[in-house]
Structure 1
Amino acid sequence: MLVYTPSGLIAQHGLLLLLLLAAWKAGSGQVHYSVPEEAKHGTFVGRIAQDLGLELAELVPRLFRLASKGHGDLLEVNLQNGILFVNSRIDREELCGRSAECSIHLEVIVDRPLQVFHVEVEVKDINDNAPIFSVSEQKLSIPESRLLDSRFPLEGASDADVGENAVLTYRLSPNEFFILDIINKKDKGKFPVLVLGKMLDREENPQLQLLLTATDGGKPEYTGSVTLLILVLDANDNAPIFDRSVYEVKMYENSANQTLVIWLNASDADEGINKEMIYSFSALVSPSIRRKFLMNEKTGEIRVNDAIDFEDSNTYEIHVDVTDRGNPPMVSHCTVLVEVLDENDNPPEVVITSLALPVQEDAQVGTVIALISVTDHDSGANGQVTCSLTPQGPFKLVSTFKNYYSLVLDSALDRESVANYALVVTARDGGSPSLSATASVSVEVADVNDNAPAFAQPEYTVFVKENNPPGCHIFTVSARDADAQENALVSYSLVERRVGERALSSYVSVHAESGKVYALQPLDHEELELLQFQVSARDAGVPPLGSNVTLQVFVLDENDNAPALLPLPGARGGGGALSEPPAAGGARSPFRVALYTGEISTTRALDEADAPRQRLLVLVKDHGEPALTATATVLLSLVESGQAPRPSSRVLAGGAGAGAGAGAALVDVNVYLIVAICAVSSLLVLTLLLSTALRCSAPPSEGACGPGKPTLVCSSAVGSWSYSQQRRQRVCSGEGPPKADLMAFSPSLPPCPVPDVEMEGESSGGDYSGKVGYYFFNFHMLICE
C-alpha cells in the first residue's frame, strides 16, 4: 500500500488499506480523522496544522504539542509540515475491545496565546482476526432414540473484530444424519444448532465425527473450525425437555447474594428413574460465570453468588444442561441470557490540569486557566455528567468537548481586593438519586504594578525650633503601596528646588528607605521662617509609580538675639572727665528711665548740690526665656545756662556716653530731645516695614560723639548666641530753672552685621523675646568742663 510519512511516500506490499481522510471541524476546535488499525508507522492521518488554522512557522515557537489520555505514543505530528501520522502500532481490539465505536481523543495545545483544540481519530476495524472456538473438540451424547428434528445447540465461534468483519456464517461437513440450523439471538449474533435429520442407529454408527466451520464477513475472509464428536447412546428413549430453548432475564447490578435469577423448568416423558432430572451448568460455561451464579441441581434455580457489576460485564450467557437418571442418561440444553441493568453506583471523576497559574491580575477576559475532564463509568443518564463552579466570582466553566471543560477568566481581576481564589468544581451525574464529586483548585493572582504609593494626607505641617543641631531628625514621611513584593517597595527622595540662592538639598535631606527627614544645618527663624518642599515616594515596579507629599516646615523663634541700642539721632558730643562715684550713698537719684519707652528724665530740679558729672548705667532686658539683656552707660555733664559743653572723644568701656554743646541753652536741649524721640520712633516704624531689605544694608551714620565699632558673633559651634555693642553719647545740661529733661533709647534686633553706633553695651543669651524693659544699674555724676 501507499502511505504518507514525514519522509515522503513509501511503497508497501500487502493488502490495500482504505484510508479515510475525511476531516471536519465541529464544536469549538474539534477535528475528526479516521485511520485503519494496524497501519504502519508513518501512515498519513491528516494535515492537522492546516485543519486547525495554524501556520507551520508558529508550531515550534508556540510549543505545539499533543496530549492523549493513555494513548500518547500512538500518533505524532511532524512539526515541519504539520502532518499527523501513525507513530506506533494501533490494535483496535486492544484499544477498544468489542466496542462498536473506537476513537483516540487528542488534545492539541499551543501557547502564546494558550489555545486548546480537540481532535478525534476514529480507528477503523480491519479483518485481522479469524473466528475461533473455545475448544478444539465438542462432544455430544445423543441417544439413538431421539426423535427427528431434535435440536442440539453448539458453542459458536467468536471473532475479535467488529462490524461486518465479525459477522460469522457456519457450515457443517457433509453427513447424512444432521443438518445445521442458525439461531439469531437478540443482539448476540448467530449460534449454530445441530438438527437431527435421520434417526440414529448406535449399532451401525456408535459415533460420528463432523467438522463445524465458521467464516467471518471480512475481505479477505478468515475461517475457524471445531470437531464435533457425536456419541450415539442407547436405551433411554425420552430426554428432558425445557419449555424454551432460550431464556432472557433482566436484573439490576449489585443484587444481593442468593437473589433468584431464574427458575428453570424441564419435563421428561419417561417414568421412574428415567424421569428424574439433574440441572447443571454446561461444560461450555466459563469459570467466571460459575463463580457469579449458583445452580440448584434439584430445583433448577439459578441464584446470585457473587458481585454483579454492570461496569464489569453487562450480559451473561449461561448454558444449562438437564440430565435424566436413565441409563444411559439423556440430556437437554437451554441458554439463559442475563442482561444486567445499570444502577447509579459510580460517582463522577474529576481531573483538573492546571495550565497557567498564577494568573496575572491584568490578564485578559477569556484567558484559559485550567483544563478539566470528567468521567462516569455508569451508562445512560447515570453516566451523563454536568459540571458547575462555585463560587462564580471572576471565573466560569466553558464546555469544550463532551466531558471536557475549560476554566476561563470571566471578568477583571484585582489582586489588592482578592489575592487568591479557592474554587470548587462539582460534577453531578443524571442518576436518581444523582451522585457527585468535587475537585478544588486554588487560583493565585499575581501582582502587577498598578498602585502608586499613597500618603495618608497630601500635606504635613512641621514645627522646628531654630538653632537645631545639624543632622537632626525633624519628621518622618510614610507612604503605603497596596501592591506586593518589589511593586510595594517604596523609596523616598526630595523634589529638588531652590530656596533663595541655595538648593533645597543644602537645607534638608530624606532617607531613601525610612522616609526620615533631616535638617542638614541649623535653621534661623530670622533668616527663614517657612521652608516648604515636596518629598516623592516611588515604588520599585516596572514601570515605577510615584506620588508626592508637601511638607511645610515652620521655624520657631528662640530668644537668640539680645536687645540692641540704636544711636540717638541729632545727639552731639561734649567734653568732660569721668569722676569717681559719690562717697556718700543713699541720696535719691535725680534721674529715672521709663520701663518700656527708654526715656530718661529728671525726677527733680537739678541744683548746685548735684555732682557736675553723672554716670547712668541703663539695663535693657527682653521677655524671652531665658531673658537677654544689654547695658548702656550714659555720661551726663551739668553745665550752667549759656555754657556750651566741650567736645570730647573719650569712649568709656562698658558704658555709653552722651554729650551736648556747652554753649546751647537748656531749652534747646529739650527741643533736641523731642526731635530725637520723634526721629527714633519714625526709624522704628520704617525698620519694621523694611526689615528684610535692611538686614544686610550698610550701617547708619555716626553719632555726634564719635563711633564705637560694634562686634557681633552670629553663632558658636554649639549653637549658642552672644552679642556686644558699643555706643557713646554725651548729654549736657546747663544752668537755669529746673526742667524735666529726658533722653530716649530705642531697642532693636539687628541682623548680622549691625550698624556702627556710639553706644557701649553688653548682652547675654536667652529664648523668645520681642519686648524690652529699661532699668538703672548705677549712675555717676559727670561735670562738663
Structure 2
Amino acid sequence: MGKYIVKMRRKENGEYSWAARWLFVSLLWNTVGALTRYTIPEELKEGSAIGNIAKDLGFDVSDIANHNLRIASENSRQYFSVDSEKGELVVNSRIDRESLCPQSASCILPLQVIIENPLQLYRVEIEVQDINDNAPIFQTTDGVLEIAESITPGDRFPLESAEDLDVGKNSLKSYSLSNNECFRLNVKTLGDGRKVPELVVDKPLDREKKSVHKLILTAVDGGDPAKSGTTLIRINVLDSNDNAPKFDLPIYKASLREGAPIGSSVLTIKATDLDEGDNGEIQYFLGVHTPEPIRKCFTLKPDSGEITVIGNIDYESTKSYRFDVSAKDKGNPELMGHSSVHINIIDENDNPPEIILTSSPSPVPENASVGTVVALINVKDLDFDANGLVNVHVSPGFPFTLKPSFDDHYSLVTDSSLDYEVSAEYNIEIVATDSGVPPLKTVKTINVKLLDVNDNPPKFSQASYNVYIHENSIAGVSLFSVSASDIDGDKNALLTYSILDLSSNQVPASSYFYINSENGTIYSMSSFDYEKMQLISVIVQAKDHGTPSLSSNATVHVFVLDRNDNAPIIIYPSTSMGSVTHQRMPRSAKAGHLVTKVTAVDADSGHNAWLFYRLAEATDASLFSVNLHTGEVRTKRAVSEHDDSSQRLLMEIKDNGDPIQSTTVTVDILIEDSFHEPISDYREKTIEPSKKTGKITLYLIIALASVSLLSLVTFFILLVKCARGSRGDSSCCIRRTNSDYKNSNRNLQIQLNTDGPIKYVEVLGGDMMSQSQSFGSYLSPMSEFSDLTLVKPSSTTNFTDTLNVLDASLPDSAWTFESQQVRQT
C-alpha cells in the first residue's frame, strides 16, 4: 500500500500553495471475478501512472498491443488511458472529486477494460480520495442581525452555515467567534451530521451603551493543514417590541413525490406572537441564507405560511431539501422567530432504462458456433429500488441471446446456427424494462452483419440438357447456354464454367466444343458428320470462387441431326465391273415374272434414307414395271416372240431428302428361248461348256454349304439367347415371312428368297434409323463370280464395295427368323 502525501507551505501573502507532492497511489485492489480496484487522490497530475493494469489482469505487457487493450468509461469524459508500451493505467485529465461526487463520502469511477482477440470485458473501479483543496465558504461576507435590546440572555439566533466541498476529515469541523462582551457561539449538530452555528446572547444588551456589535465568525475544516473561511456579522441593537414570534415546531417535516406539478402545496408553517397590533402581526420568509437552488424549487407565502412548488423536483438530483424559515412581526423594532423545514423527496419511476453499447459488434461468420460473443452492453436506470431494477432480453425471433457478465453488464451471444443465405444481417432488438409501476421500457436496435461462408455448391437449372445441331454446320456456331446459380454471396457466388474431359471418352469433348467460362455459352469447334457420330455427351462443370471452391456438373447431350448429304448406292445388281449390269430371263416368262431386283442403300437416316425406285427409260416400257418401294423388276405381260431379245432398262433411285439425291443403274436383259443355254454375246462364251458347267456346280455347292452353315450357326445362337432370356423380359419367336408382325425394337432378320431366277439372302437388323447391322448375300445365275459379300448399310462402309454375284441357284423357298436384339450404342 502506498500514499500520495501532499506538503503545504505558507507563502508570504498568507495563502497556501503546493510546494511538493508525495504522489503516491494506494494500490488497494481486490479481484473478485474480473473486478480490480485502485485508490488515488484527486487532482492527480496528468500522466501519472496508477498501476500496471496489464499485469494486474494477468496479461503479458508485450501482448497488450495484439489484444488491443482499451478503456471504456461510463462517463462522457475519459479520465484515464492505457500506456500501450508499459501496460500502465495513466491519468488522462484533471480529476476533481467535488464535481464528480459532490457531498458523497465515497467516490467510485467505474471503468470497463475491453480486451479483443478474443473479446473480453473486465471491471475496474477507481476510488478517488478527497484532498483538502477547498476552504469553508460563507455565502455572504457581511451579514446584518437586528436584536432588540430587551432580548433575554440565553436567546439564540441561527447564523449562516459555511459550506465546504470537501468530505470526510477535510470537511467543515468547527466554528469560532471573535472575542466580545455580550455574545457567545454555540454549535449544534443536526441529524444529517451538519454543524449549524448559533449566536447566543450571553449578557443583556444596552442600546444606549453600544448600538452596533461587529463579530467575526470563522469556520475551520479538519484538513492538514486546516483551511478556514470568515464572515462579518453586524448586530444592530433595536429598542421596544419585546416579544418575538414563536413557531409551533422547531422542525417541520414533509414528504413530496418527485415530478410534483408546479403550484402543489407542500406544507404550512405556523408561528404566534403574544404582542398586539403591528407588533403581533406576522409575516413568513425563507431564511436569509437559503441557497438559490431551494429558492428555485419552493416559495413561501408571506401571509399564510404555505410552502408550494415552483420548480422541477427531481429525486435523482436532490433526495431531500433542508432550509430555514423566519416569522417576523411588524413591531418597532421588528422581532423574528426561526424554525427549519425538512422535505424528503419520494422517488417516482420517471427514468426509463438506458442501454449502452460498450463494444460495437463486428461481422460474424455464418458458421460461428453457438455462444460466440457478438457485442457487449451495459444497462442502467437512474431510479432507485424497484424503479431502478432492470430486466433485459432480446426480442423473440432472433438467433441471439444475452448472457449476464456482472452487475448490469451483458454479452450478446449467438443462440443458434446462422445462415447468410437466409438473412445477411440482423437488426437485433434489445428490450430493457424496469420494475416500476407502471414499468418503463427502452428498446435499442443493434445491427449485426453476417460474413458469407462458401457452404453452397452451384446448382444448374437442369441436371441434363438436350441440344440439337445439324451435321455439316460450320464451326464456331453458338449451340446452347447452360446456367447455374449459387445462393452464396460475393465471390462465393461468382461462377466459372468449364468442360470436363472424361478418361472414358476416346476423343476429349473439349476438342469438339468450347464453353465461355463466364456465361456458360457452348460453341462448336468442328463440323459434325451424322454418319460417323449421332450423339456426343458433354459434362459441363460450374465452379464457384470460394475457398475451398465448390462445384457441380450437368450433362449436355448434343444430338447431331441428319442432312441429306448422301446419294443412294446400288448394291445389287453389281456394277463393280462397269456401269451396266447383265441379267437374263426366259422368253416363256409370264406376267409378274421377277426379272431382277435392284437394291440400294442410303448412308443417311430417317426420311433421308427412304428410297424410291422408278423406271427412267426402257427399250420396251410396256414389258417391264418397277416396284416403287422394293425395286423389284417384273414383267407387266407375258413375253411374246416379237419382243426384242435384248432389253435395256435405265433405273433411277431417289431418296426422300431435301434436296433429293438420286443415282441410276443400267440393266441389260437378255430374253432366251432356252434359259440354260449359254448366251452368245456374254463375255465368257469362249470358255468351254464342260468346264463352265463344272465350275458353276462347284460354286453352287460351296454357296449352299456356306448358307446352310451360316443359317445353322445363327439359329443355334438365337436359340441359346432365347433360352437365357426366357428368365428375363426378352422374347423369341420364329415365324413365316408373310407374317404381319413388326417388332418395335431392333430385329435381326434372315431372309432367303428364290422368287424367280434371282436368288438372294438378306440378314437385316433394325430399321434405317438404328445402328444395327444389315447383311445381304445375292446369288445370280448371270454372275461371273461366286463370292459371298456382307454389307453393313447403316455404317460408314464405302458402299461402292458391292456384292459380287454368285452364279448359283437356290431352292424355291422363303422364310424369316427374328430375334429381339439390343440396340448398339
In structure 1, what is the equivalent of residue 755 of structure 2? none
TM-score w.r.t. the length of structure 2 is: 0.74
In structure 2, how many angstroms separate the alpha carbons of the residues matched to 1:572 and 1:323? 158
Which stretch shifts more, 746-755 or 497-506? 746-755
Where 1:537 maps in the other structure, the secondary structure is: strand
Superposed CA offset, 1:358-380 (max 9, x none): 33323344443334344433333
Pick the aligned partner of 1:65 from 61, 66, 70: 70
Matches within 5 A, 1:100-249: 100-187=105-192, 189-249=194-254
CA distance in 1, matches of 2:447, 2:383: 29
Deviation at 1:96? 2.4
Contact 2:3 2:26 in 1 (8 A): no
Describe the superposition over 1:751-781 as per-residue Cα deviations: whole angstroms up to 9, x where unpaired: 254444599xxxxxxxxxxxxxxxxxxxxxx
> Aligned letter for 1:644?
P
C-alpha displacement of 1:684 = 13
| 1:423–1:575 distance in 2 versus 1, CA, 3 Å | closer
Provide the C-alpha distance between the structure 2 equivalents of 1:182 and 1:416, rounded to a whole number of angstroms. 77
Q: Give the match's secondary structure for 1:512.
A: coil
Matched with 2:542 is 537
| CA spacing shift, 1:685–1:608, aligned 2, 3 Å | farther
* In 2: Cα distance, 1:575 partner to 1:528 partner: 34
2:273 maps to amino acid: D
Structure 1 pair 228/677, CA: closer, same or farther in 2 (3 Å)?
farther
Does the 8 Å contact 2:678/2:685 carry over to 1?
no
Distance of 2:534 and 2:437 partners within structure 1: 86
Residue 522 of structure 2 corresponds to residue 517 of structure 1: yes
Matched, 1:293 2:285: no
Tell whether the 8 Å contact from 1:370 to 1:406 is kept in structure 2 after alignment.
yes
Residue in 2 aligned with 1:707?
Answer: none
Out of 23, 30, 37, the residue aligned to residue 29 of structure 2 is 23
Tell me the equivalent position of 1:264.
269
Deviates more, 1:143-152 or 1:310-319: 310-319
Q: Assess, with a 3 A threshold, how the Cα gap between structure 1 residues 383 and 142 changes in structure 2: closer, same or farther.
A: same
Question: What is the CA–CA distance in structure 1 between the aligned matches of 2:278 and 2:574, rounded to whole Å?
Answer: 166
Verify: 1:563 aligned to 2:568, yes or no: yes
Question: 1:266, CA displacement in angstroms?
Answer: 1.0
Whether the aligned pair in 2 keeps the contact of 1:659 and 1:730 (CA below 8 Å) is no
CA distance in structure 2 between the partners assigned to 1:560 and 1:498 by the alignment: 33
Residue 650 (structure 2) aligned to one of 610, 613, 617: 617
Listed as ranges, the matches of 1:571-610 within 5 Å are 588-589=622-623, 591=624, 598-600=631-633, 608-610=641-643
Please say which of residues 305-314 and 247-256 is displaced more in the overlay. Answer: 305-314
Instruction: Please state whether the residue corresponding to 2:295 is helix, strand or coil.
Output: helix
- Is 1:34 the counterpart of 2:39? The answer is yes
SS of the residue corresponding to residue 26 of structure 1 reads: coil
Higher relative contact order (CA 8 A, sep 6+): 1
Q: How many angstroms does 1:611 deviate by?
A: 1.8
Displacement, 1:457?
4.1
Question: Post-superposition shift, 1:492?
Answer: 0.7
* CA shift in 2, pair 1:392/1:618, >3 Å: closer
Check the 8 A contact 1:216/1:222 in 2, yes or no: yes
Hey, what does 1:653 align to over in structure 2?
Answer: none
- What code does the residue aligned with 1:383 have? G
Q: Which amino acid aligns with 1:552?
A: H
Which residue in 2 is equivalent to 1:751?
796
CA distance in 2 between partners of 1:405 and 1:571 (Å): 100
* Aligned counterpart, 1:704: none
| Residues 425 and 670 (structure 1), Cα distance of their counterparts in 2 relative to 1, 3 Å cut | same
Residue identity in the other structure for 1:617: L
Q: For residue 15 of structure 1, report the CA deviation from its aligned partner.
A: 5.2
Deviates more, 1:666-675 or 1:374-383: 666-675
Query: Secondary structure of the residue that 1:631 maps to in structure 2?
Result: strand
Q: 1:180 & 1:116 partners in 2: Cα distance?
A: 56
Post-superposition offset of 1:49: 0.5
What amino acid does structure 2 have at the position aligned with 1:363? A
CA shift at 1:143, angstroms?
1.5
Q: Determine the structure 1 residue equivalent to 2:417.
A: 412
Q: Assess, with a 3 A threshold, how the Cα gap between structure 1 residues 366 and 163 changes in structure 2: closer, same or farther.
A: farther
Post-superposition Cα deviations, 1:671-707, rounded to whole Å, max 9, x if no partner, equal: 98999899899999999x9xxxxxxxxxxxxxxxxxx
Question: Which residue does 1:381 correspond to in 2?
Answer: 386
CA contact 2:618–2:649 (8 Å) conserved in 1: no
Sort the Cα spacing of 1:576 and 1:594 in 2 relative to 1 into closer, same or farther, 3 A: closer
CA distance, structure 2, for counterparts of residue 601 and residue 666 of structure 1: 28
2:582–2:667: 8 Å Cα contact kept in structure 1? no
Q: CA deviation at 1:150?
A: 1.4
Secondary structure of 2:328's counterpart equals: strand
Calculate the aligned-residue CA RMSD, in Å: 4.3
CA–CA distance in structure 2, aligned partners of residues 745 and 406 of structure 1: 88
Deviation at 1:666, TM superposition (A): 11
User: What secondary structure sits across from 2:54 in the alignment?
Assistant: helix
Structure 2 residues without counterparts, runs of 5 or longer: 5-17, 584-614, 718-778, 784-788, 805-825
Shift of 1:588: 3.5
Residue 650 of structure 2 aligns with an amino acid whose one-letter code is L
3-state DSSP of counterpart to 1:57: helix
2:663 corresponds to: 630
> What code does the residue aligned with 1:619 have?
E
CA distance in 2, matches of 1:345, 1:215: 40
- Number of residue-to-residue matches in the alignment: 691
State the shift of 1:452 in Å.
1.1
Q: Which residue of 1 aligns with 2:446?
A: 441
Corresponding residue SS for 1:235: coil
1:94-129: CA deviation from partner (whole Å, max 9, x where unpaired):
222223332223232333333333322111112221
Counterpart-to-counterpart distance in 1, 2:702 and 2:77: 116
Q: Deviations over 1:181-213 (max 9, x none)?
A: 333223251211222333223233323333322
Counterparts of 1:460 and 1:65, CA distance in 2: 60
What's the CA shift string for 1:222-254, capped at 9, x where partnerless? 222223322222222211111222222221122
Contact 2:98 2:166 in 1 (8 A): yes
Q: CA deviation at 1:625?
A: 6.5
Secondary structure of the corresponding residue to residue 60 of structure 1: helix
The reply on whether 1:14 has 2:20 as its aligned counterpart is: yes
Supply the distance in 2 between the matched residues of 1:181 and 1:659 (Cα, whole angstroms): 173
1:322 counterpart = 2:327 = yes
How do residues 648-659 of structure 1 correspond to structure 2 at under 5 angstroms? none
C-alpha change, 1:607 and 1:71, in structure 2 (3 Å) is closer
Query: What is the aligned partner in structure 2 of residue 737 from structure 1?
Result: none
- Show the counterpart of 2:308: 303
Query: Do the aligned partners of residues 118 and 504 (structure 1) sit closer, same or farther apart at CA in structure 2, a change above 3 Å counting?
Result: same
Residues 748, 401 of structure 1: alpha-carbon distance in 2 compared, 3 angstrom cutoff = closer
Distance 1:130 1:526, change over 3 A: same
Residues 474-553 of structure 1 aligned to structure 2 (within 5 Å) = 474-497=479-502, 501-553=506-558
Matched residue, 1:471: 476
The one-letter amino acid of 2:204's match is M
Secondary structure, in 3 states, of the residue corresponding to 1:543?
coil
Percent of aligned pairs with the same amino acid: 40
Contact 1:537 1:547 in 2 (8 A): yes
Change in CA separation of 1:732 and 1:335 when aligned onto 2, cut-off 3 Å? closer
- Structure 1: distance between partners of 2:695 and 2:643: 21
Quick check: 2:80–2:90 contact (8 Å CA) kept in 1? yes
Structure 1 residue runs of 5 or longer lacking an equivalent are 5-11, 650-657, 690-728, 734-743, 760-785
* Cα separation, partners in 2 of 1:628 and 1:250, compared to 1, 3 Å: same
CA offsets per residue over residues 284-328 of structure 1, 9 Å max, x none? 123443343222222222222233233343333332221122221
Rounded Cα–Cα distance in structure 2 between residues aligned with 1:758 and 1:660? 25
Post-superposition Cα deviations, 1:389-414, rounded to whole Å, max 9, x if no partner, equal 21352212234454443323233211
Aligned with 1:273: secondary structure? helix
Residues 187 and 619 from structure 1, CA distance in 2 versus in 1: closer, same or farther, beyond 3 angstroms?
A: same
Is the 8 Å Cα contact of residues 661 and 732 (structure 1) preserved in structure 2? no
Q: Any idea what SS the aligned residue of 1:192 has?
A: strand
Change (3 A) 1:88 1:401: same
